Chain A
Amino acid sequence: MDTATQRKWDAASQNFDLFSYGDDKRLGPHKRRLFAKIRGETLMVAAGTGNDFRFFPPGHSIIAIDISARMLERAAKKAATYPGTIDLRQMDVCQLEFGNNTFDTVVTACTFCSVPKPVAGLGELYRVLKPGGQILMFEHVRSRIGPLGVFLDLMTPLSRRLGPDLNRDTVGNMQKAGFRIRREENVYLDIIKAIEGVKDPSAPTA
């Protein structure tokens, strides 16, 4: 397991809910609309403190992982209030302990701004998805608008110390990992996006 990343998010867990309060209120309806597409066996990556559980449609059985034990401790209370089942497990997305072709849906929310090796992590998600399975991602990415992109590049060395990178090309990384982009939607400027990818049914089963 990536212990440096683990320590960083253990530390961030203390104030995570405070810093994400506005985002949760503002972006919640967009997340709820995206996550309404959850179907079948579902894996959530980077559960955090469980703030996004409330945006899941009721009645599903979801496995939610996070690299940080502290985050999962905080998530446990919120998981208990979900009208379905959420099974919390500590795991690194780059070393998933699931077999090939296990899940129908993978969900992420502001996850791949923080995974140190995003293509490797997405490759693992591709591996555990069944052919025809979908990945639903609510992520912030590098802007393609000139000055905003440069600003996000400049801020990333600072933001990385406390939390996420701000200049990830997550759509490109998904494609590198093998996903086909089904839908890409701008939620705020071209920075916050709802992205849907699929593992094509014709993909070879590993």
Chain B
Amino acid sequence: MIFAIGDYLAGMLVGAATALAVRMVVWPGMDMVLAMIVGMALGMLVHLVLGLALGPLIGMFEAMIPASLIGMYGGMFFGMRDSMAAGSRTLQAGLAVGAIFGAIVVAGVRFYDRTLRGAVVDTGD
């Protein structure tokens, strides 16, 4: 249970940090493709730093895998939103969107993990 809470908190932190980093660099009207590439790069950087910091607490792969998806896809998503001026109006709202995105990705990864878990080969001997 404690690890489940940790997974969600870590995902929300990575999501919010990615949204913040993108918001600081991408401006409304910026070329969208460039904004998405920059967002992805920032997200990957954020996920590396936070993933390594959180890994010792919740497990390296359990931290890094969701964080990589949040950083990569979240960075692109937030970059697109901010370049279109379709992003959140306030910084707090932007961080909340990042955190929600992070929590959704963690939920998806945890659900996928449940479906994959278990024996894939068992000869029974």
Contact = CB atoms under 8 A, between A and B. Distances in A.
Interface stretch (B31-39, B81-89, B91-99, B113-121): B113-121
A183 B65 contact: no
B61 A191 contact: yes
A161 interface: no
A79 to B, nearest CB: 23
B115 to A, nearest CB: 10
A191 B113 CA distance: 10
Contacts, number: 76
Contacts of B121: 181-184
Contacts of B68: 151, 155
Contact of B61 (A25, A186, A188): A188
Interface string A176-200: 0000111111111111100000100
A23 B69 CA distance: 20
Interface in B10-56: 55-56
B65 A191 contact: yes
Interface size class of B (residues with CB under 8 A): 20 to 34
A140 B122 CA distance: 19
A21 B56 contact: yes
A95 B40 CA distance: 44
A27 interface: yes
Interface residues of A, number: 28
Contacts of A26: 3, 58-59, 62
Interface string A140-167: 1000000110010001000000000000
A21 B62 CA distance: 13
Contact of B55 (A19, A180, A191): A19
Contacts of B3: 25-26
B119 A182 contact: no
B120 A186 contact: yes
B58 A183 contact: no
Nearest to B57: A22
A190 B121 CA distance: 12
A140 B65 CA distance: 13
B57 to A, nearest CB: 5
Contacts of B59: 22-23, 25-27, 188
Among A18, A26, A185, A192, find the residue whose CB has the most chain B CB atoms closer than 10 A. Answer: A26
Contact of A22 (B58, B69, B117): B58
The 5 A-B residue pairs with the shortest CB-CB distance, nearest first, are: A184-B121, A22-B59, A26-B59, A185-B119, A23-B59
Interface of A: 18-23, 25-27, 140, 147-148, 151, 155, 180-192, 198
Given A26-B62, A27-B59, 10 more contacts: A18-B56, A22-B56, A22-B63, A25-B59, A147-B69, A181-B121, A185-B118, A186-B118, A186-B120, A188-B117
14 contacts: A19-B60, A21-B56, A22-B59, A25-B3, A26-B3, A148-B65, A181-B121, A182-B123, A184-B121, A186-B118, A186-B120, A189-B65, A189-B116, A190-B120
